[in-house]
Chain A
Amino acid sequence: MSLSLEGITKKVGREIHIDNVNLSFEAGSRNVLLGRTLAGKTSLLRLMAGLDRPTSGRVLANGEDVTGKSVRKRSIAMVYQQFINYPSLTIYNNIASPLKTARITKAEIDRRVRATAEMLHIEGFLDRLPSELSGGQQQRVAIARALVKETDLLLLDEPLVNLDYKLREELRAELQDIFEARQAIVVYTTTESTEALMLGGNIVVVDEGRVLQTGPTPEVYHHPATTKVAEVFSDPPINFLKGTVRDGTGRMGRNIVLPLNKHMQSLTDGDFIFGVRANHLFVSRRSKEDVEIPAKVELTEINGSETFIHANHNEIQLVVQENGVRSVRIGVEIAIYVNPSCFFVYDEAGALVASPSPEDVRGL
């Protein structure tokens, strides 16, 4: 089946939650809805599911208008961010519940419940109540319930966000395999760009109720169409430096000369915004081409095996993501190095002018 949203707008009171969204999804596609909190991801999912009615616009399933159709009669499944199970039913009955309302024989229900439970490694808990399971297991039950009925549309609203890191990694890998074997349209929302990249498929970048960019996930990652998309699709946030090109010479920040090679060769004179992701900034020189940015350290954060160094260059905040645990004293002047072929170039309005080719960036 195919699902499309045509000119969907959702207002709550005077607030616009979703603003004129047009999207279409094909059967068997994996789709990631990426956006920050309150960007409208959940609202969009609810509109797709039919839990909410759009203020204007139409939802089409297989070309048929289903805008006002009750969620009961649609073929959808949904997994929420919170672990939503029926607390008074056993795990078995929780998973079986979507099948019980359909006309399916008991033996068939039993077979499918057990198969799905096995797929999600919860076959040992079928007689327990949800409250007797851990958070990760509870979410597995919720996912199993969504998978057991082969629905046309499978919606997952940040399903892993309330789990701890290790469980999240584990479940994410499993989910990818599970999605692979389905014919359903899978729509998965997340705030994390790394998660979006891991899931692959197509991406819809959402911000403030608007769709900013759609396309294959790696494609959008390598060519974020606006500074806003680049911000949403970078974690830690992307660094922006204002700069100019005059007579074939690029300058940015506090008069740093930027050689215009490769993708920046064709830049004409004008004012630009140069963007670079934190993982392309380093505190040590790695090649001859590297540009040096002097900055003052303001904060270092150690995040597992990585260190985020927040530094200030010309009143502009820069974040450096370095591998390994590093200790840099606060207030120290350091030099940050970046390879010019890693820069995204945006015009003053924030539209993409040039982006580094993935081949050039690879390995830097």
Chain B
Amino acid sequence: MKGKKKIVGLVIYFILLVIPIYWMLNMSLRSNADILASFALYPKDITFMNYMKIFTDSSWYMGYVNAMIYVVMNTLISLTVALPAAYAFSRYQFVGDKQMFFWLLTNRMAPAAVFALPFFQLYSTIGLLDTHIAVALAHCLFNVPLAVWILEGFMSGVPREIDETAFIDGYGFPRFFITIFIPLIRAGVGVTAFFCFMFSWVELLLARTLTVTEAKPISAIMTRTISATGLDYGLLAAAGILTIVPGAMVIWFVRNHMAKGFALGRV
């Protein structure tokens, strides 16, 4: 009896969660006229018009390409910087190490809007505005500290004796780090990459401020559908569905390690 109640509860909860996404899918498969004309629980005349538009109009699909480019750049930069930093925090003691470690996390305490103006000014001065690297670098402000925290947790779970054994065996540091150490924390690297990807993928404010046309991401482009002729519901819904897909795919890959990632590797 109790098990059944639990299942019913879960089903209700799941339905509540899925309704908005389902509604978006529903709208994305209908034409604008249809959406405005009648209320329908499911699309009666399925049309892929909206998706066709996104896949054929370069001003639309380039939004995805741009977002992908800077997200991947950001993930790579964050990992490259955070891996050695996390190793240092996990293995060495130095003056102010604890304070510095905490300070890193405080970087995440400020809202992105705080940094939008300084970034805009600085980047326009050195001509970085409207480039992919500009957004990638701006997102590092938030992603590098997070990556250091998560990776440090995973690295501290690896006994220090493994490092020592490798040095005794005669490994140089770079070789040890790449061939022995990183494989040991590959779940952590995966989870970190996921968090960097996710943050960078959904972040709108900095991405919109720092880009004009060349590097404009999809989330910024979606706001274009509000025009003099009104809201293009169907197109917006289709773009929304397509925006969810990459995130969902990445989550699928790291689903088994997510909980540990949320606990910053300290489980």
Contacts and interface: CB of A to CB of B under 8 A. Distances in A.
Interface of A: 49, 51, 70-72, 76-78, 80, 82, 84, 86-89, 97-98, 101-102, 145, 149
A145 B161 CA distance: 14
Interface in B158-197: 159, 161-162, 164-172, 180, 183-184
B103 to A, nearest CB: 24
Specify the main secondary structure of chain A where it touches its partner: loop
Given A71-B164, A71-B168, 20 more contacts: A49-B168, A51-B164, A51-B168, A71-B167, A72-B167, A72-B171, A77-B168, A78-B164, A78-B165, A80-B161, A80-B165, A82-B161, A84-B159, A84-B165, A87-B184, A88-B184, A98-B168, A101-B169, A101-B170, A145-B165
A28 to B, nearest CB: 21
Interface of B: 159, 161-162, 164-172, 180, 183-184
A101 B168 contact: no
A15 to B, nearest CB: 15
Contacts of B166: 86, 97
Contacts, number: 49
A97 B165 CA distance: 10
Given A49-B168, A72-B171, A77-B168, A88 B183 contact: yes
B82 to A, nearest CB: 21
A136 B166 CA distance: 21
Contacts of B164: 51, 71, 78
A248 to B, nearest CB: 58
Contacts of B167: 51, 70-72
A294 to B, nearest CB: 51
A18 to B, nearest CB: 18
Contacts of A101: 169-171
Contact of B170 (A84, A87, A98): A98
Contact of B168 (A76, A87, A89, A102): A76
B172 to A, nearest CB: 7
A86 B168 contact: no
16 contacts: A49-B168, A72-B168, A80-B161, A82-B161, A84-B161, A84-B162, A84-B165, A86-B165, A86-B184, A87-B184, A88-B183, A89-B180, A101-B169, A101-B171, A102-B170, A145-B165
Nearest to A74: B168
B169 to A, nearest CB: 4
B184 A78 contact: no
A89 B183 CA distance: 9
Contacts of A72: 167-168, 170-172
A37 B169 CA distance: 27
A149 B168 CA distance: 11
A87 B187 CA distance: 13
Contacts of A51: 164, 167-168
In the complex, which of the residues B165, B166, B171 has the most CB atoms of chain A within 10 Å of its own CB atom?
Answer: B165
A80 B180 CA distance: 18
A88 B159 CA distance: 14
Contacts of B162: 84, 86
A88 B180 contact: yes
A71 B176 CA distance: 14
Contacts of A89: 180
A78 B183 contact: no
A263 to B, nearest CB: 46
A88 B168 CA distance: 18
B186 to A, nearest CB: 8
A51 B167 CA distance: 9
Given A84-B159, A84-B161, A86-B162, A78 B180 contact: no
Contacts of A76: 168
Given A51-B164, A71-B164, A84-B162, A98 B183 contact: no
Closest 6 CB pairs of A and B: A101-B170, A88-B183, A98-B169, A84-B161, A97-B169, A80-B161
A143 to B, nearest CB: 12
B226 to A, nearest CB: 52
A84 B169 CA distance: 13
Contacts of A97: 166, 169, 171
A115 B166 CA distance: 22
Nearest to A98: B169
A39 B26 CA distance: 72
Contacts of A149: 169
Nearest to B161: A84
A97 B179 CA distance: 11
A78 B183 CA distance: 23
Nearest to A70: B167
Contacts of B172: 72
A52 to B, nearest CB: 10
A80 B159 CA distance: 11
Nearest to B158: A87
Contacts of A145: 165, 169
Contacts of B183: 88
Given A51-B164, A71-B167, A77-B168, A86 B159 contact: no
Nearest to B164: A51
A174 to B, nearest CB: 21
A191 to B, nearest CB: 19
Contacts of A84: 159, 161-162, 165
Contacts of B161: 80, 82, 84
A127 to B, nearest CB: 17
A71 to B, nearest CB: 5
